Amino acid sequence: MTSPAFSDWLDICNLKARYCRCLDTKDWQGYAEVFADGAVLDTSPSGGLTVAGRDALVAYVRSSISEDTITTHHIHAPEIAIDGDTATGIWSMQDRNIWPNGRKLLGFGHYHERYVRTADGWRIAESRLTRINMEMTNG
């Protein structure tokens, strides 16, 4: 039998995996569904912006990558702490992005996140991306 804590941990891991898959396949509806309604996305530590609200953050991410941009996001080594209907997590990450003009990014860093349990399951309430290394080349 799976304990509730492990079941929640696994649900959050699957949520974050879905985040990466939907982002990389540009499944914008699926990507939006991993976030809580009032979610905050903070990419300012890695050179981006802070955006509040699910629709606004999806629009911001879509504007950052064209439909022809190839993105690959890998996450691993989750550190997840669950406290009832909220949780926090830190994920090691690596991303590789290739834009149609030949510009390339290879990045390493961490996602720092807060999750909330909703009627539809766990959702990302806050996500902050920090980078420890980023290699950019222009095409």
Q: What is the pLDDT of residues 23-69, one digit of tens each?
A: 999 999 999 999 999 999 999 988 889 999 999 999 999 998 888 99
Where are the domains positioned within the chain? 4-137
Name the pTM for this structure.
0.93
Fold assignment, 4-137: Nuclear Transport Factor 2; Chain: A, (3.10.450)
Q: What is the pLDDT of residues 64-110, one digit of tens each?
A: 888 899 999 999 999 999 999 999 999 999 999 999 999 999 999 99
Surface-to-core class of residue 5, CB atoms within 10 Å of its CB (0-12 exposed, 13-18 middle, 19+ buried) = exposed
